Structure 1
Amino acid sequence: MQKEYIYPIAMTIAGFDGSGGAGIQADIKTFSALGCFATSVLTALPIQNTQGVQAIYAIPDRAIQEQIRVLLSDIFPKAIKIGMVHTATLVDVIVETLSEYPKVPLIFDPVMVASSGHRLVQDATVATIVEKLIPKTDLITPNIDEAAVLAEMKISSLDDMYIAGERILKLGATNVLLKGGHLQSSTLTSLYFDNQGKVHSYESAKLETNNLHGTGCTLSSAITSFLARDFPMESAIVAGQCYTYKAIKNGMDVLTGKGRGPLNHFFDPEKLIKNAFLSESEQDQKNR
């Protein structure tokens, strides 16, 4: 049968969350809710629920490499999201394996600090992330705690966020979205530092809810989804923030588990998008 359509494909390289609120589960839900076809690479197997992580079982580096290769050789994505990378070796494996394939928009959500304030990655891993992964990404989406690690400074105000964002750019990041949800303020302010030297500020009212588990995963995956749908970077960031805000708002009144509950990813799901299939020559013509 002649191929007439193709799905916008988004890939996640991240850890497991059996409680369904964060990690690969949140990524797949977000991709699906926004009309994208989801593929996934598992990097770690945490044992967790809404009350926290009890243990983490490692996935062999070779298995991660083989997952990436087998998927990219068959179902090539239009955008890739990377979640927590907890060892320096894993950073090397991901960067080296992805370098074997054509460039695709790469979104990195640097999960480095738990909500309790505990560091989740060692200094050697952070150093490898800075040296090898950040320069390869098209967008990095740290929260305040993660930005503080990368910028090597305390962040307690909006002015600090501006300084930290500029420091992260100097690490080789192409674009930085610094999320301000952890600041003590009634207003949530996020700053987007683009690759043209401009800083865009986005403000919204903070939603008072305990159901915030997986917010960072959801936002980075939403942006990845819109990039897979050919949105320009700034438009993808704006649309991703809007989706995440609504997912939080529509899940505020739901009790799921005994701890920090998840967002409502399917508050208004889109159908799986079918785009016209273009041959390589037609695609080249379109890109000229």
Structure 2
Amino acid sequence: MLTQFPQALTIAGSDSDGSAGMQADLHTFFRRHVYGASVLTACVAGNSYGIHDAVNLPTEFIDNEFKDLAEDYHIRASKTGMLSDSTLINTVVNNYQQYDLGPLVVDPVITTKHGNVLLEEEAYTTLRDELIPLATVITPNFFEAQKLAEMEINDEADMETAAQKLQDLGASNVIINGRHDSEDQLEVADFVLLESGKSFWLRDPYHHTDRVNGTGDTLSACITAELAKGNDIESAIRIAKKFVNIAIQNEIIVGHKFGPINHWAPEDEI
């Protein structure tokens, strides 16, 4: 009975302000009634004004984190967050391939939701060539999808083409998060392409707020949690999209500038 409760793993960095990274993942696991384990890869010092320092953990320590969890826990699904360099990415890839940690949700943290580049080119190449082929689900934002698909996305037909190109990179299932950076925007449209060939759009109202830190982390973490509970890919994606929309819609005032989404808002019966 010890290993029967749904358990999920986040492989990510710690954000000291709690709005994103591992903290956002664990908030989400808790709200979705999944036990959350973690492999810490880096530590970030920051607050609502920005990130001010960061340090990677030694790879030997990361290896031991994976080993200890695999020896004791029954991880049913895993996800990655930001992995800042090629060494970290390769360490995660090697450990994920060594242990049974369930299906993998890859949040390819390459650029911010506003298009600012976060990864050096060498690390990007390693992520694309080594990590993405392991992905059961990949969850890029609009700008990350453009980068990975090596094309501009100007309309919905382009989004569908980009999703197919991401599948061609090796990801089994794809959800591309629609662009959401226009002041006169009315909705956000995400496109989903499943391994089966089924595709569909998820459309929600656009909420004008600066309380959106951790949106991508939460979406990928919610998908991971639902997979850990045994839900199919489509159900997991639909639940996660609804969870995030409600969390953005119901603001929580924490910090002075760019704040977190509200993980308390979504109801358990989503």
Fold in common (TM above 0.5) = yes
> How many residues matched?
267
Q: CA deviation at 1:182?
A: 2.8
Identical residues among aligned pairs (%): 34
User: Per the alignment, do residues 71 and 4 of structure 1 end up closer, same or farther by CA in structure 2, a change over 3 Å counting?
Assistant: closer
Partner of 1:217: 217
Structure 1 residue 206 corresponds to structure 2 residue 225: no
Partner of 2:141: 143
Q: 261, 264, 269: which one pairs with 2:262? A: 264
Q: Secondary structure at the match of 2:72?
A: coil
Larger radius of gyration: 1
User: Per the alignment, do residues 17 and 159 of structure 1 end up closer, same or farther by CA in structure 2, a change over 3 Å counting?
Assistant: same
Question: With structure 1 as the length reference, what TM-score do the two structures score?
Answer: 0.88
Q: CA deviation at 1:269?
A: 6.3
Letter matched to residue 217 of structure 1: D
Residue 91 of structure 1 contacts residue 128 of structure 1 at CA under 8 Å; is this kept in 2?
Answer: yes
Instruction: Supply the distance in 2 between the matched residues of 1:115 and 1:194 (Cα, whole angstroms).
Output: 23
Q: For residues 187-208 of structure 1, what are the alpha-carbon distances to aligned partners after superposition, in whole Å with 9 as ceiling and x for unaligned?
A: 1111111112222111111111
Instruction: Supply the distance in 2 between the matched residues of 1:70 and 1:5 (Cα, whole angstroms).
Output: 14
Instruction: Supply the distance in 2 between the matched residues of 1:242 and 1:83 (Cα, whole angstroms).
Output: 20
Structure 1 residue 128 corresponds to structure 2 residue 120: no
Instruction: Supply the distance in 2 between the matched residues of 1:232 and 1:167 (Cα, whole angstroms).
Output: 23
Q: For residues 222-264 of structure 1, what are the alpha-carbon distances to aligned partners after superposition, in whole Å with 9 as ceiling and x for unaligned?
A: 11111111000000000111111111122x2x32112111111
Q: CA deviation at 1:126?
A: 1.5
Partner of 2:19: 21
Question: With structure 2 as the length reference, what TM-score do the two structures score?
Answer: 0.93
Q: For residues 154-200 of structure 1, what are the alpha-carbon distances to aligned partners after superposition, in whole Å with 9 as ceiling and x for unaligned?
A: 22332321121111111111111000043644111111111122221
User: Per the alignment, do residues 167 and 268 of structure 1 end up closer, same or farther by CA in structure 2, a change over 3 Å counting?
Assistant: closer
For residues 156-175 of structure 1, what are the structure 2 equivalents within 5 Å? 156-175=154-173
After TM superposition, what 4+ stretches of structure 1 lie above 3 angstroms from structure 2?
268-271
- Note the residue ranges of structure 1 that are not aligned, 5 or more in a row: 272-288
- Note the residue ranges of structure 2 that are not aligned, 5 or more in a row: none
Per chain length, whose mean CA-contact separation is higher, i.e. which structure has more relative contact order (CA < 8 Å, sep 6+)? Answer: 1
Residue 36 of structure 1 contacts residue 228 of structure 1 at CA under 8 Å; is this kept in 2?
Answer: yes
Partner of 1:8: 6
